[in-house]
């Protein structure tokens, strides 16, 4: 019945999201019922040709899914799922590019107004993407009226994916936004210490350990951002890789935290000479607070790594059910 | 005002194909309206799940494929004319449909319309 399952899987991804389970359950029960009834009559399993003959009258998965959608005026139900998916991906990529461009503007020492202007282009970029994608699909929809639909073969359906994605698209997009914010913050940190210290930046600064950890943390952040982008575009293909990368980046966090605990120099130093050597030694107090904070981060990260690994190793991926 | 009309005469084979396509379209339109009536009427006295409903309709020479029936059932349920519930039968989980109170009222009115329309058409045809 593999061909039936592949058909149902292909239909599922083109249905309205809130109705996928219900529709596929009903359609699946009917098709499996038909297969079992025929197998009982024949006293053997159906051949590939017989399964194909059962599916052909139902139409291509896109045609079947389109029958469950309401007709929209500009873009018909056949193209609607592809339109929505293309729009999601294009808007996501456009937003990431725009935010990175704003970060680069900021790092290059531009005035805050220039950075806000760069971010202010975001709605315009989104509207432009919406316009072009819509225009392209309207043209495609129009062209479809004059094209005889090609014959389709159930055998050409893509195979069932071996594993379900370990992250949902919504979760992947949330993670991606987190990565973009973190990388932007980290890139700006050396030139704008107030992003870490607030008003205390007037008398606090970073010590030499920041120079040692800066590049590894930046590279890890950028790699997380890129993998996060891929996972947001295709959770099925990249969700599992993103989960493993999360564990790897948590390991980097542990190494950085452990190194900071052993470092001879303080990560945060007092830059105002009048405060050094005062009674109650502020420098010492900050060092103790940072040490406690680093130990807490280290313990939490190790616990997270163990939890993530147990989840990934215990469930190497549920087989896909439709 | 004079209009110059250029008529492209189709080749016989193409003409026959175009006629067949047009007829298919008319047939589809004719069937579409009747299917709602047939489905509601079949579910009037007895509940069915998709497969048995198709079989019952096919016995009366009204063949309807899954891709047409299930979206239609879903639409009628959304409109409040049918109600459904999932139940296990013969070790399989099945969704049973039956006519709702609103569906019964709609069916009575549609049957009236159908009878009037049939009488008119019989006079005309």
pLDDT-derived band at B11, boundaries 50, 70, 90? low
Q: How would DSSP label each residue in A235-268?
A: HHHHHHHHHHHHHHHHHHHHHHHHHHHH-SS-SE
Q: Which chain A residues touch B if contact means CB-CB below 8 Å?
A: 23, 25-27, 29-34, 57-59, 63-64, 67-68
pLDDT tens figures, A88-119: 888 888 888 887 777 777 667 677 677 777 77
ipTM of the shown complex: 0.71
Q: What pLDDT does A203 receive?
A: 80
Element (H, E) at B53: helix B50-59
For A27, the closest of B49, B66, B94 (CB atoms) is B66
Q: Which stretches of A108-168 are DSSP H helices?
A: 112-120, 122-144
Compute CA distances A48 → A1, A3, A52, A157, A210, whole Å: 9, 8, 6, 13, 63
**Cβ neighbours of residue A144 under 8 Å, at least 6 residues apart?**
A76, A78, A79
User: Would you say B68 and B53 are in contact if contact means Cβ atoms under 8 Å apart?
Assistant: no
* Rounded distance between C-alpha atoms, residue A270 and residue A201, angstroms: 9
Out of B68, B71, B92, whose CB is closest to A29? B92
Q: Indicate the range of A248-262, B2-16, B86-100 predicted with least confidence.
A: B2-16
Mean pLDDT of chain A: 82
DSSP class of A275: G
Average pLDDT of chain B, as a whole number? 84
Give the A:B interface size as CB pairs under 8 Å: 37
Q: What's the rounded mean pLDDT across residues A121-132?
A: 89
A232: its two tokens:
């947001």
B→A interface, C-beta within 8 Å: 49-51, 65-68, 70-71, 74, 92-95
- Angle between helix axes A80-107 and A112-120 (nearest 10 degrees) is 170
pLDDT of residue A229: 86
Residues of B in contact with A23 (CB under 8 A): 70, 74
Tell me the nearest-neighbour CA distance from A28 into chain B, angstroms. 10
What's the pLDDT score for residue A312? 77
Q: How many CB atoms lie within 10 A of CB A45?
A: 11
How far apart, in whole angstroms, are the C-alpha atoms of residue A143 and residue B81? 37
CB contact under 8 A, A30 and B51: yes
Q: How far is B106 from chain A (nearest CA, A)?
A: 22
> Residue with structure tokens 């919406």?
A130
User: 3-state DSSP call for residue B114?
Assistant: helix
What is the model's pLDDT at position B14? 63
Cα atoms in the Cβ-side hemisphere of radius 13 Å centred on B97: 27
Instruction: Determine the pLDDT at residue A207.
Output: 83
**Tens digits of per-residue pLDDT, A227-242?**
888 888 877 778 778 8
Least confident of A30-34, A45-49, A270-274: A270-274
Q: Among all chains, which residue has been given the structure tokens 């048995």?
A: B52
pLDDT at A148: 72
B49 has which bridge partners? Answer: B96
Tokens of A283: 């420098």
């Amino acid at each position: 019945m593999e061909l039936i399952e592949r058909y149902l899987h292909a239909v599922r991804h083109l249905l309205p999201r809130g109705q996928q389970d219900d529709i596929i359950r009903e359609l699946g029960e009917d098709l499996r019922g038909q297969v079992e009834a025929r197998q009982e009559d024949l006293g053997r399993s159906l051949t590939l040709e017989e399964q194909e003959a059962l599916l052909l009258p139902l139409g291509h998965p896109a045609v079947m899914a389109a029958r469950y959608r309401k007709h929209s005026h500009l873009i018909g139900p056949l193209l609607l799922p592809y339109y929505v998916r293309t729009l999601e991906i294009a808007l996501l990529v456009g937003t990431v590019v725009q935010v990175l461009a704003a970060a680069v503007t900021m790092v290059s020492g531009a005035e805050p107004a220039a950075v806000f202007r760069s971010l202010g282009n975001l709605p315009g970029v989104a509207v432009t993407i919406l316009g072009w994608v819509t225009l392209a699909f309207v043209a495609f929809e129009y062209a479809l009226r004059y094209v005889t639909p090609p014959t389709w073969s159930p055998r050409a359906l893509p195979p069932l994916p071996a594993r379900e994605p370990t992250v949902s698209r919504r979760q992947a997009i949330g993670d991606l936004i987190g990565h973009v914010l973190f990388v932007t913050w980290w890139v700006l940190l050396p030139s704008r210490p107030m992003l870490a210290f607030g008003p205390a930046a007037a008398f606090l600064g970073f010590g030499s350990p920041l120079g040692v950890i800066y590049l590894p943390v930046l590279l890890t952040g950028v790699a997380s951002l890129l993998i996060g982008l891929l996972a947001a575009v295709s959770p099925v293909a990249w969700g599992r890789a993103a989960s493993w990368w999360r564990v790897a980046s948590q390991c980097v966090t542990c190494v950085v935290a452990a190194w900071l605990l052993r470092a001879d120099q303080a990560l945060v130093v007092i830059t105002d000479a009048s405060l050094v050597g005062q009674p109650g030694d502020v420098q010492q107090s900050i060092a103790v607070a940072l040490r406690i904070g680093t130990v807490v981060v280290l313990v939490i990260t190790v616990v997270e790594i163990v939890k993530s690994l147990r989840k990934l190793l215990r469930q190497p991926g549920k087989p896909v059910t439709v | 005002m004079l209009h110059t009309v250029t008529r492209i005469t189709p080749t016989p084979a193409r003409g026959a194909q175009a006629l067949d396509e047009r007829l298919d379209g008319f047939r589809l339109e004719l069937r579409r309206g009747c299917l709602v009536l047939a489905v509601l009427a079949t579910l009037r006295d007895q509940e069915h799940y998709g497969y048995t409903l198709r079989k019952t309709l096919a016995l009366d020479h009204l063949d309807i494929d899954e891709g047409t029936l299930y979206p239609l059932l879903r639409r009628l349920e959304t409109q409040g004319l049918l109600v459904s519930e999932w139940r296990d039968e013969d070790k399989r989980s099945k969704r049973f449909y039956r006519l709702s109170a609103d569906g019964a009222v709609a069916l009575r009115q549609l049957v009236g319309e159908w009878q009037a329309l049939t009488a008119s058409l019989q006079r005309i045809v």
